[in-house]
Amino acid sequence: GAGVSQSPSNKVTEKGKDVELRCDPISGHTALYWYRQSLGQGLEFLIYFQGNSAPDKSGLPSDRFSAERTGGSVSTLTIQRTQQEDSAVYLCASSFGTGRGDEQFFGPGTRLTVL
């Protein structure tokens, strides 16, 4: 596609429910990243994929958070038993490779609100 797309654009959920956030990277990009943007915390790295494997999950804040990527393309970030502190904008980015010179292209984000 023309750019990174994410769905849904907005998600409102009740505390304790599970949510799934989807990211479609740019076609041909092998690397995919998830970040979280919240008030007071700024932009934080969550996890990245090279192909379908996740070499770095160090940013996931708790075991309620998980992510997978299938077919080297679409990725899903799942948050189980959501808490109010999970409210944030979840950003996905993709890059052609994982070299330091590879620009990360960002999607529009999913705004998650946990009531």
Partner 1 sequence: AQSVSQHNHHVILSEAASLELGCNYSYGGTVNLFWYVQYPGQHLQLLLKYFSGDPLVKGIKGFEAEFIKSKFSFNLRKPSVQWSDTAEYFCAVIGQAGTALIFGKGTTLSVSS
Stretch 2-61 residues interacting with partner 1 (CB under 8 A): 3-4, 31, 33, 35, 41-45, 48, 55-56, 58-59
Nearer to partner 1, 93 or 112 (CB): 93
Rounded to an integer, what distance in angstroms lies between the CA atom of residue 69 and that of residue 73?
7
Phi, psi of 5 (to 5 degrees): -120, 150
**Span 57-86, contacts to partner 1 by CB under 8 A:** 58-59
Q: Evaluate whether 4 touches 107 at the Cβ level (below 8 Å).
A: yes
Structure token pair of residue 11: 């998600």
Task: Identify which range of 16-24, 65-73, 77-85, 99-107 contacts partner 1 by CB under 8 A.
Answer: 99-107
Cα distance between residue 6 and residue 111, in whole Å: 10
The residues of the shown chain that bind partner 1, judged by CB under 8 A, are 3-4, 31, 33, 35, 41-45, 48, 55-56, 58-59, 91, 93, 98, 100-101, 103-104, 106-109
